[in-house]
Structure 1
Amino acid sequence: MPTTLDRQISATRATKTPLNRSQITGFWGAWAGWTLDGMDSFIYALVLAPALTELLPRSGYAATPANVGLAGSILFALFLVGWGLSFIWGPLADRFGRTKVLAATIFTFAIFTGLAATAHTVWELGTYRFFAGVGIGGEWALAGTYVAEAWPEDRRKMGAGYLQTGYYAGFFLAAALNYTIGAAFGWRAMFLVGLFPVVISIMVLLRVKETDKWERSETAHPHVKHESSLKAIFNAQYRKRTIVATVLLTVAIIGLWAGAVYEPSAVIQLATKAGMDKAGAARMASIATGLLSIGTIIGCLALPPMAEKIGRRKTLAVYFVGMAASIALAFGWAFYLPNGLVPFIALLVVLGFFGGNFALFSLWLPEQFETRVRATAFAFCTSIGRFFGAIVNFGIGAMVLNMKTLGVPIAITAIAFLIGLAVIPFAPETKGQELPS
């Protein structure tokens, strides 16, 4: 029979540490920024065809399906290179604090997304998307670092899952905007909506308090204040985990982006094959994107409890197996069925769920590095994979052009997750450990 002391201990464990106003405001600022990041990222995929159809002739190229596909791959690769360069935000955040640099990342991607609406050539659009990528890539690293440090230990794991839902809520928001504003006013209006995050950046800068962990670290380590945090994540203490985390994130980026970016084009092709007109096919792509986003949000929320129960490494392995299977089946099988639209969309929901693997990195990466280098490590590991993603994207574009099909080249990217499964055992297991100081 439980004693009074047992009941008191159980009650204490069941009661979560309450969040203060700054923690709540900071989370919603980070979440909203990440949501609008996701919206911004996916706007390009949704407006790719109409934007390039208009801009290619102005740039001296015919707007053929092959040219649209090739130019789309090149521009998306430029976006990923910009995202790869976003690791610069990490050392800045470790030097000057989380909230100021977080606001700067949001401001950067918002301004250049809005400028994309003024593009007159493909190359202008590519330039704006490059700089938007620099801002977008930094937002995840800074938002993830902020939530990990600002939230209490007993809440931060679930906070990582909540935070990651924002990016895919942004996918859903982009799909809804494309269904309404995009359908009515065109692709330029979609990019103009991307200016809205400027408001979020101002709110973050003015109303959110710097994390106590960062301020204590600044006080405790004055002698290393000017040490290169980028150099520090490759010292003997951190080198292995930095490399392993970067490889795992590269795998996740290659797989998810290949499926997510080409999903609207695949749905449009399948919807057209099913007899829908152009407008109906575009709306079906928006619906499919919404379902993909819902699946991913559920996957993000399911992940932290699983990671707490079976550990970080096993959880990532489960999600990687799910991603490999769903990408291969969706693009390698359902895409080629005579009536493949319904099974393809059903598999997109499954793909979305396992695409929630990114929530694990928001939980896991901060646990692997101490405060003075945490933002640098987070930014580096989440950014460098974008360079490899850009290379793969060029390869996918070339394969689509040569094979004259979309499905098989995307299905092949499932192989990346097999590489990831082989690397997972080399990552540290941090289940049950508190965030390092």
Structure 2
Amino acid sequence: MNSLTDRTSVTRRRTPLNRSQIAGFWGAWAGWTLDGMDSFIYALVLTPALTELLPRSGYAATPANVGLAGSILFALFLVGWGLSFIWGPLADRYGRTKVLAGTIFTFAIFTGLAATSHNVWELGIYRFIAGVGIGGEWALAGTYVAEAWPEDRRKMGAGYLQTGYYAGFFLAAALNYTIGVHYGWRAMFLTGAVPVVVAILILLRVKESEKWEKAEARTVRTKPLREILGPAYRRRTWVACILLTIAIIGLWAGAVYEPSAVIQLATKAGMAKNDAIRTASLATGLLSIATILGCLALPPLAERIGRKKTLAIYFLGMAVAIVGSFGWAFYLPNGLAPFIAWLFVLGFFGGNFALFSLWLPEQFETRVRATAFAFCTSFGRFVGAGVNFLLGAAVLHMHTLGVPVALTAIAFIVGLFVIPFAPETRGEVLPQ
């Protein structure tokens, strides 16, 4: 009995957070939320934006051309995401908070500029540069929270942080349901400029993490990128790259094509255009809520059964959900309701990204942590850009959306064979 009381008392006595840690978390969370909102705005306004801009660029706005141009532009966006690895070494050298604010400034300004696009080329350039900023935010927010929060809280902090990205999806869906339907796609991009305020607050209110300051004081200057690819870290770096690549392929296959799939199914069910758009927004909201629940459920599970087993469960769930939604429900005669039901399952297991916010910082020392996080995420985005281009070509060739997206489930099955090569860090403290 005493032992149970002792354990309960230890569980309740968590290290209190100070004002800087709280402000830092909410700054990182808000940036990640608005990052998610900005990145998903494109998926929601893809069809209306390209329908207007393609004729101005000399191309007919046919469904095939909209699909192909959308995939090409999104591939450019992912290449921008991939180039975001530049932020990692900057953060290891100059600190987490300043560089985090820089990433938010970048994606906010160029998302807002996308509203001024006169043709698809301008839209592509703005989205490419916005991608560079958006891609860096996760690595720096995840690194900051892992270092700034006390050891007994940082694991759940990773889960809380990751909910921000999907809260951004929900926010984008809500904006599309209200602003997008009434004022169009340009107004949606203008809302993406709001994160500039968050960047200013981060610069003014959030202190640098003590772990980085201590590491900076004792570090002999090295090249962090060379170090994470050297003998000490090479294996865990490349395994993390592969696992993140698989997660990114699944996220963007499911999440990016979900609104288009819902609009197609709603139109097939006899809905008017605006009603179909609203239905897509509601479905995206459901997907987002489910993913937030998946993010919150993940850290306790990872603490109980380990990082590797948890990721295996989430990867298997993603494979089943992608096949169930895009491979089966999408082709049913009345598939709208079953497809949306499967989206909840897809969203929940899409919370696998919370594991990387928890797990990646545990695998690298402070002096190279931001570089490693940014490099691994960027690698996955480069590959994701290529896969997205192939998906667009497959949709054009097969004249259907469902089967090409459903085939991405294969990546998660491959991931189950890669997970055993990753290090298990359950029970270990964050390395200094």
Q: CA deviation at 1:10?
A: 4.2
Q: Which runs of 4+ in 1 moved over 2 A?
A: 6-10
- C-alpha distance after superposition, 1:174-231 (max 9, x if no partner): 000000001111000000001100000000011100000000101122x2x2x11111
* Matched position secondary structure for 1:333: helix
- C-alpha distance after superposition, 1:230-266 (max 9, x if no partner): 1110111100000000000000000111010000000
Q: 1:425 is matched with which residue: 420, 426, 432?
A: 420
Q: 1:151 is matched with which residue: 149, 152, 168?
A: 149
> Are 1:352 and 2:350 an aligned pair?
no
2:136 and 2:13 map into 1 onto residues whose CA distance is 34
**What amino acid does structure 2 have at the position aligned with 1:32?**
A
2:214 and 2:251 map into 1 onto residues whose CA distance is 37
Match of 2:313 in 1: 318
Match of 1:384 in 2: 379
Written as runs of structure 1 = structure 2, the 5 A alignment for 1:186-265 is: 186-221=184-219, 223=220, 225=221, 227-265=222-260
2:207 and 2:10 map into 1 onto residues whose CA distance is 27
Q: CA deviation at 1:13?
A: 3.4
Q: 2:275 is matched with which residue: 274, 280, 302?
A: 280
Percent identity reads 79
**What amino acid does structure 1 have at the position aligned with 2:165?**
Y
Match of 2:2 in 1: 2
Cα separation, partners in 2 of 1:10 and 1:290, compared to 1, 3 Å: closer
Match of 1:131 in 2: 129
**What amino acid does structure 1 have at the position aligned with 2:421?**
F
1:9 and 1:342 map into 2 onto residues whose CA distance is 46
Match of 1:50 in 2: 48
Match of 2:323 in 1: 328
- C-alpha distance after superposition, 1:90-143 (max 9, x if no partner): 000000000000000000000000000000010000000000000000000000
Match of 1:30 in 2: 28
**What amino acid does structure 2 have at the position aligned with 1:404?**
H
| Matched positions, count | 432
Q: 2:392 is matched with which residue: 381, 392, 397?
A: 397
Normalising by the residue count of structure 1, what TM-score does the alignment of the two structures yield?
0.98
Match of 1:91 in 2: 89
> Are 1:369 and 2:367 an aligned pair?
no
**What amino acid does structure 2 have at the position aligned with 1:91?**
P
Written as runs of structure 1 = structure 2, the 5 A alignment for 1:55-66 is: 55-66=53-64
1:58 and 1:10 map into 2 onto residues whose CA distance is 66
- C-alpha distance after superposition, 1:279-326 (max 9, x if no partner): 110000000000000000000000000000000000000000000000
Measured on the aligned residues, the alpha-carbon RMSD in Å equals 0.9
1:323 and 1:332 map into 2 onto residues whose CA distance is 13
* Matched position secondary structure for 2:381: helix
1:86 and 1:276 map into 2 onto residues whose CA distance is 40
**What amino acid does structure 2 have at the position aligned with 1:418?**
I
* Matched position secondary structure for 2:425: coil
* Matched position secondary structure for 2:58: coil
2:191 and 2:7 map into 1 onto residues whose CA distance is 50
- The runs of 5 or more residues in structure 1 that have no matched partner are none
2:7 and 2:283 map into 1 onto residues whose CA distance is 47
**What amino acid does structure 1 have at the position aligned with 2:32?**
W
- C-alpha distance after superposition, 1:145-187 (max 9, x if no partner): 0000000000000000000000000000000000000111100
- The runs of 5 or more residues in structure 2 that have no matched partner are none
